[in-house]
Amino acid sequence: MSDWTPSSWRARPAGQQPTYPDEPALDRAVAELSTLPPLVTSWEVERLKGQLADAAAGRRFLLQGGACAERLDQCTADVITNKLKVLLQMSLVLTYGLKRRIIRVGRFAGQYAKPRSSDTETRDGVTLPAYRGDLVNGAGFTAAERTPDPDRLLRGYEAAALTLNFIRALVEGGFADIRHPEYWDLEFVEHSPRAREYQRMVESISDSVRFMEILADAHVSEMSRVDFFTSHEGLHLPYEQAVTRRVPRRDGWYNLGTHLPWLGMRTCELDGAHVEYYRGIRNPIGVKVGPAMTPEWLGELVEVLDPGREPGRLTLIHRFGVGRVASCLPPLVEAVRATGRQVVWCCDPMHGNTEKTADGIKTRRFDNILGEVEASFDIHHELGSYLGGIHFELSGDNVTECIGGARGLAEADLRRAYESRVDPRLNYEQSLEMALLIARKMATRNGRQV
């Protein structure tokens, strides 16, 4: 890595970067960011890498989830608590169904920068810079809001720190009593033909948790303490560079702004700035893989990003859509296998299944999301590889952004509580139901009744 530095990406073309009108102000913000204490530590990062190595080998399973784009105005106790709660409950359900330990990774505490298909947006003849996430500019359609503002880099970092601080405190403090059925909002279950089955699973999980606690003589939250990791798309390179640090007694450089940064699908050109940045950091890294990815490209990408063939280094997050996963996935699994690497394969069933309603609202269908997850389990199984994780855009609140699920959310419901400014998320009930259905499928495959 002698030719790599945290800023060597600057010699390459960098996609998806905002254009700041005041460059010296950007430099000042980045300089200040570089002096602030890190959000995470290298030993947490290494611990996650070790756990991901286990997932690659089929011994653990990754659950990654959270907002498409976090919002600064939603850095609130309720939003954070509810997100943590749904991720925790989903992970218990998955532990039960998959009989694997779950690695919990949030899309939170830093998921503030978004790639966009166009640099600008035009409304009624007025053209302004596109909204690129709260780290960059505001969503409101005015010149003042849309002008990229470097101070937002500091505000985003501060909000990430507040979020993570609260998450750490909740997890350390026992959080909430997940054994109590009333803590599980299961009203939606009544609307499902599977109501009894869902109830039975949740009761059985609660029993198992109680049983475990008796054996271990500890509260379950103490047994799995702080195993909540953070992740975000490491898109804004000046920001990522500023949080890239050396640590005493370890070699190399760590991105200490998050545990698991991922490389988005729009910025994974081999000779691009993002690949250059990612190849040099010591973190485990995620790579989004979409239908445009060829086997040759992926083969080269994994060589560049993981020259040391390090266990746990790469998590390949595939997102093809329910209709394309069967044709797109197998050649890529073969291409990676041909390099001799064991990666974590993780299914993102959200980004290939986005559609627009007749009214122009972005949505996704519960059945298509579930369909891509189920197909992915089957395809990996047939290929003799292992699906080691799932990646969701979700909210812990009862937003109405995706269609379907037990309560039968329809197109007409979408306007009621649509809060996302970017992609539609599963709500609390849909997320939990998704986990129950995945657990049910996998338990049934393994010959167990649920």
> Which stretches of the chain bind ligand PEP, using CB under 6 A?
68, 115, 233, 264-266, 288, 290, 319, 351, 423
**Residue 318, contacted partner among ligand PEP, Co ion, none, CB below 5-8 A by kind:** none
DSSP annotation of 33: H
Of 279 and 351, nearer to ligand PEP (C-beta) is 351
State the number of binding residues for Co ion (CB under 5 A): 2
In the bound complex, what is the minimum distance in angstroms from residue 205's beta carbon to ligand PEP? Answer: 29
| Of residues 68 and 113, the one with the C-beta less far from Co ion | 68
Taking the complex as a whole, how short is the minimal distance between the CB of residue 193 and Co ion, in angstroms?
31
Please report where in the chains the tokens 């445009």 appear, as a residue.
Answer: 292
Check residue 426 for interaction with Co ion (CB under 5 A).
no
Would you give the DSSP letter of residue 38?
P
418 phi/psi in degrees, rounded to 5: -95, 110
Minimum distance of ligand PEP from residue 115's CB (angstroms): 5
Of the candidates 70, 149, 240, 423, which one interacts with Co ion according to CB under 5 A?
423
How far does the chain reach from its first CA to its final CA, in angstroms?
A: 50
Task: Work out what residue 434 binds among Co ion, ligand PEP, none; the CB cut-off runs from 5 to 8 Å by kind.
Answer: none
Output 152 or 425, the one with its CB closest to Co ion: 425
**By CB under 5 A, which span of 50-58, 65-73, 132-140, 153-161 interacts with Co ion?**
65-73
The rounded distance, in Å, linking the Cα atoms of 387 and 348 is 11
CA distances from 425 to 288, 349, 366, 399, 404 (A): 18, 11, 10, 8, 12
Binding partner of 288, given ligand PEP, Co ion, none, CB within 5-8 angstroms per partner class: ligand PEP
Contact 181, 207 (CB under 8 A): no
Q: Which two tokens stand for residue 390?
A: 């799932």
Helix, strand, or coil (residue 351): coil
Q: Which of 33, 68, 285, 442 binds Co ion (CB under 5 A)?
A: 68
Min dist. Cβ of residue 336 to ligand PEP (A): 18
* CA-to-CA dists, residue 65 to 78, 232, 398, angstroms: 17, 10, 16
The one of ligand PEP, Co ion, none whose footprint includes residue 325, by CB under 5 to 8 A per kind, is none
In 3D space, the residue among 170, 169, 227 whose CA is nearest the CA of residue 47 turns out to be 227
Cα separations (Å) of 121 from 129, 139, 140, 395? 6, 11, 12, 27
Note the residues at the interface with Co ion (CB under 5 A). 68, 423
